[in-house]
Amino acid sequence: MALRQIVNLPEPILRRKAKPVSKFDKDLQTLIDDMIETMREAPGVGLAAPQINISQQLAVVEYAENEDDEEEDNEEAPSRPKKLFVLINPEITKASEEKVIGVEGCLSIPGLLGEVERHKSVQVKALNRHGIPVKLKTEGWMARIFQHEIDHLNGVLFTDRATEVWVPKPDEVVDLD
C-alpha cells in the first residue's frame, strides 16, 4: 500500500464527472487499498478517486454508524467500531424528503468549512471491491458522507451546495472527507 497525494482546488479533475469502473483487477484492488490508507492518514472519513487525481467512480468511507455528538462528548460511552465501505459506480436510488443542515469540510479544500443542506437519509446502490452489487440504507452523518463522496464523483464540491462558507477557528473540529 502507498499513500497517494490528495489534490486541491483548482485541480480540474475535481470538477469533472468520473468515469465508471469496468475492470475489477489487481490494479483496482491496489488503488482501493491505497485510497483507504490515504484517507486514514489524512485523516478523513471519506475519499473519492478524483481527490487523488484519478477519474474513476470509486469512493471509500470509514465511519462509526449512528454516532451522535452527545455520545462523543461522553468519555464513558463505549466507542463504536468504524465500518469501512468501498463504493464503486455508486448511485443514490432514494432520498428522504426531509433535509438537514450540517457543517462539512473537505480534504481537497483545506482551510474552509461550510453549512450544507443534505437529505437526512439516502439509499445507495453500488458495487463492492469485488464487483458484487450492494444496497445501503444510510441516515444522519453517514448519509451526509455518502452524499458528499458521490458528489465528488460527479464533479460537485461541498462549496457548491453550501449556504455559508468560512475559515474555521483553531478549536473548531469537523470530520473531513
Helices (H), 1-119: 26-41, 69-73
- Tell me the longest C-alpha to C-alpha distance in the chain: 46
- Listed by start position, the domains of the chain span 12-166
| Cα 43 from Cα 135, distance rounded (Å) | 26
pLDDT at 71: 43
What does the pLDDT read at residue 172?
A: 77
Report pLDDT for 64. 82
Choose among 174, 175, 161, 152: nearest CA to 55.
152
**Minimal CA–CA distance to 52: which of 104, 116, 2, 125?**
2
11 as an active site residue: the answer is no
Choose the catalytic residue: 11, 76, 115, 149: 149
| 12-166, CATH topology level | Peptide Deformylase (3.90.45)
Determine the 3-state secondary structure of 116 from DSSP. Answer: strand
Would you tell me how many other CB atoms lie within 10 Å of the CB of residue 21? 16
**Can you count the helices (H) and strands (E) in the chain?**
4, 8
pLDDT at 72: 44
pTM over 0.85: yes
- Distance in angstroms between the alpha carbons of the first and the last residue of the chain: 20
Using CA atoms, how far apart are residues 109 and 123, in angstroms rounded to an integer? Answer: 27
Which pLDDT score is estimated for 7?
Answer: 98
Which pLDDT score is estimated for 65? 64
Print pLDDT tens along the chain (177 aa).
Answer: 799 999 999 999 999 999 999 999 999 999 999 999 999 999 999 999 999 999 999 999 999 865 554 444 445 556 678 999 999 999 999 999 999 999 999 999 999 999 999 999 999 999 999 999 999 999 999 999 999 999 999 999 999 999 999 999 888 777 778
Q: Which amino acid makes up residue 100? A: V
Question: What pLDDT shows up at residue 174?
Answer: 77
| Distance separating alpha carbons of residues 146 and 154, to the nearest angstrom | 13
